[in-house]
A and B are shown apart, each in its own frame.
Chain A
């Protein structure tokens, strides 16, 4: 399986600021995903990031709040904008599969605390 890294691994931020999270993969992948895991909760898909096209956002998530970049097949960023304490979560990137039998693998996550 591919090796996925995320930066930063954790951060503590002030209300109203923005944080950009990076996801790097050691091989080329077509589809990457960003998930949010709020404290004590399960994972919720934020958006799908395909290289060369706009990200596709799930219901309840908007581009102004969570802009995503996908400049090439090994890298993506998620920005959490104008943060509030409710944005305190673990943010994870994951890799899509080529077929429906493929496993989806996840990065180590970024633990964000907003004060």
Chain B
């Protein structure tokens, strides 16, 4: 079965510093991995996805993620954090085969960016 794990409940970073939000995955078949962000009182917004190809995926709002097959990781990164990046971040993996529309979400990581 597919699953993702986000080992950190919370990440604190100072504005202007680089940030990393961690995600590891366990899949059967090809890993189709996603990052979503949830701002307070808002729904989930899509940031980026890895399907195949280049291991470094660029997404919205200056975020990028690095797919590492040997470490089964898909960490979210940003070179310079903004206070407005403070939000809840979810890693997700989709199911394989005919169930590809079923997503499995991580537990979420709260990112706090301090001025």
Chain A residues within 8 Å of B, Cβ to Cβ: 1, 4, 6, 31, 33, 41-43, 45, 48, 92, 94, 96-97, 99-101, 103-109, 111
Contact = CB atoms under 8 A, between A and B. Distances in A.
A6 B42 CA distance: 11
A111 to B, nearest CB: 7
B52 to A, nearest CB: 8
Nearest to B41: A111
Give the contact-size bracket for chain B: 20 to 34
A41 B110 CA distance: 11
Contacts of B105: 42-43
B43 A106 contact: yes
A105 B43 CA distance: 10
9 contacts: A4-B43, A42-B107, A92-B44, A97-B101, A100-B100, A105-B46, A106-B36, A106-B43, A109-B42
Contacts of B32: 100-101
A43 B44 CA distance: 10
B107 A108 contact: no
A67 B75 CA distance: 37
B106 A42 contact: yes
Given A42-B90, A42-B107, A103 B34 contact: yes
A55 to B, nearest CB: 14
A91 to B, nearest CB: 10
A100 B94 contact: yes
Given A42-B105, A94-B44, 7 more contacts: A4-B43, A6-B43, A43-B44, A100-B32, A100-B96, A103-B46, A106-B44
B49 interface: yes
Contacts of B42: 108-109
A101 B101 contact: no
A104 B103 contact: yes
The 4 closest A-B pairs by CB, nearest first: A100-B100, A96-B101, A108-B43, A106-B44
